[in-house]
Structure 1
Amino acid sequence: MFKVTASEIRDLIIAFFVISLSFGIANTGRDMNALMMILPPIMVGVGLGFILHELGHKFVSMKYGYWAEFKLWPQGLILALVTSFFGFVFAAPGAVYTYANYMSDEINGKISIAGPIVNIILAIAFLIIATIVYRSAFTSETSLLIFVICSLGYSINSFLAAFNLLPIGNLDGSKVMRWNIGIWFVTIAIAGIMTALSMTMGVENMVRIIIGF
């Protein structure tokens, strides 16, 4: 049975708000008016991306019969806030800890890849929705808001997937690589390309190409 503890909910909420604020600062700098405007759409993209990423790890862990729980990493929250002022976010606010006496590299790899896969799927979903509402965004404020939310959702989720798949330290990428280097290469390539496109072309130009606008 999928269970979430009270302390886990508390840690997820704290991490959610700090990570949302960090991405907001990274996108707007010290402009408070711009930050207040962009923060709600970012919270949607980060909220779904961050929480479902962690719950993806938790779900797969519990599927294999292990108890898993998200725990906050205070130093990671501080690091996220500090790096945001330099225009990027080192997003490591905490992690899902899986409690097991023994775990094979395969199971550990499958648990680890679940989070980035969730982010990739969410990014694609956001891009599809952005494509659907793009034409009406010129005449409808609601459609424009949805497009902005989806644009940020695509960019943030593709970045979260690519970042977490880096084979560094205790990030997901290290565990996935130990399990299957081929699967790791394919997933980080997909996430990396998606992130690069959002940073170079921008989501609006991607959408315009897709619909031939």
Structure 2
Amino acid sequence: MFERITRREEADLFVAWVAISFAFAIIFLREAGRASPILALTFVGISLLTVGIGFILHEMAHKFVAIKYGYWAEFRKDNIMLVVAVALAALVGVVFAAPGATVIYSNSADGRGLSREENGKISASGPLVNLVLCIPFAVLLMVAGQGPSLGDNVLYMIGMIGLQVNAMIAAFNMLPVSVLDGKKVWSWNKPVFIVLIVAAFAALVLSFYPSTLASLI
């Protein structure tokens, strides 16, 4: 499996992962209202962990579902969008999580192009992975929230940020605009689109209300 990730793709994933992680860390620091060195390092570390899991698995879902259908796919970073993401986080307090895209190459051997169904399923796989990842982070948030120790507090932060990051990535990518996943899913299967976008925004809203979430788990 890992041999299908090229050196260039590894480099692009790494740069995008670090840039988006810093963008999210800036957002969480702005929300905290204080920026001590320890708190800043904590948010950066947690963002690297949670964004790394959510972002990379999102893109790998696109890649390997495309490969399953007989196509080749690689993630390519977008340097301009990476700069925009960090700048918007710092200046406006918004994360525009579009660091690049998984590019799918058609199967030139048999001349077969990407069908609407294949494109829809490949696109849906990324947000679906993020929604699945929301579950363990939500459970971690609830379990750690019951403990008084420093370790529990760190785990609580990981759970909360991991839930919010994955919900944000899923919700943003399910918007039916431009080249985002939502537009391709909408073109393929509207009921699937509705289920995914409702689930994504429901998870996003709940991620900001841990007490409400606790009553549902």
TM-score (norm 2): 0.89
1:102-141 alignment to 2 at 5 Å? 102-136=113-147, 138=148, 140-141=149-150
Shift of 1:208: 4.1
Equivalent residue for 2:35? Answer: 31
Alpha-carbon distance between aligned partners in 1 of 2:183 and 2:36, rounded to the nearest angstrom: 37
Equivalent residue for 1:74? Answer: 79
Secondary structure in 2 matching 1:35: helix
Alpha-carbon distance between aligned partners in 1 of 2:72 and 2:165, rounded to the nearest angstrom: 29
Secondary structure in 2 matching 1:70: strand
**Seq. identity, %:** 39
Secondary structure in 1 matching 2:64: helix
1:171 matched to 2:177 = no
**How many residues were matched structurally?**
206
Equivalent residue for 1:91? Answer: 97
5+ residue gaps, structure 2, are 107-111
Which letter does structure 2 place at the counterpart of 1:70? F
Shift of 1:7: 0.4
Tell me if the contact between 1:113 and 1:173 (Cα under 8 Å) persists in the aligned partners.
Answer: yes
Alpha-carbon distance between aligned partners in 1 of 2:158 and 2:65, rounded to the nearest angstrom: 28
Shift of 1:36: 2.2
Alpha-carbon distance between aligned partners in 2 of 1:123 and 1:103, rounded to the nearest angstrom: 30
Tell me if the contact between 2:138 and 2:163 (Cα under 8 Å) persists in the aligned partners.
Answer: yes
Alpha-carbon distance between aligned partners in 1 of 2:169 and 2:150, rounded to the nearest angstrom: 28
Shift of 1:120: 0.4
Shift of 1:132: 2.5
Q: CA offsets per residue over residues 46-77 of structure 1, 9 Å max, x none?
A: 01000000001001001111110000111110
Alpha-carbon distance between aligned partners in 2 of 1:166 and 1:119, rounded to the nearest angstrom: 14
Tell me if the contact between 1:129 and 1:147 (Cα under 8 Å) persists in the aligned partners.
Answer: yes
Shift of 1:37: 2.5
Alpha-carbon distance between aligned partners in 2 of 1:148 and 1:111, rounded to the nearest angstrom: 31
TM-score (norm 1): 0.91
Secondary structure in 1 matching 2:70: coil
Tell me if the contact between 1:130 and 1:146 (Cα under 8 Å) persists in the aligned partners.
Answer: yes
Secondary structure in 1 matching 2:73: strand
Which of 175, 189, 200 is the matching residue for 1:191?
200
Alpha-carbon distance between aligned partners in 2 of 1:72 and 1:187, rounded to the nearest angstrom: 25
Tell me if the contact between 1:49 and 1:122 (Cα under 8 Å) persists in the aligned partners.
Answer: yes
* RMSD (Å) for aligned C-alpha atoms: 1.6
Shift of 1:210: 4.2
Shift of 1:168: 0.9
Equivalent residue for 2:109? Answer: none
Shift of 1:128: 1.4
Alpha-carbon distance between aligned partners in 2 of 1:27 and 1:133, rounded to the nearest angstrom: 19
Alpha-carbon distance between aligned partners in 2 of 1:207 and 1:135, rounded to the nearest angstrom: 14
Alpha-carbon distance between aligned partners in 2 of 1:39 and 1:50, rounded to the nearest angstrom: 15
Shift of 1:130: 1.9
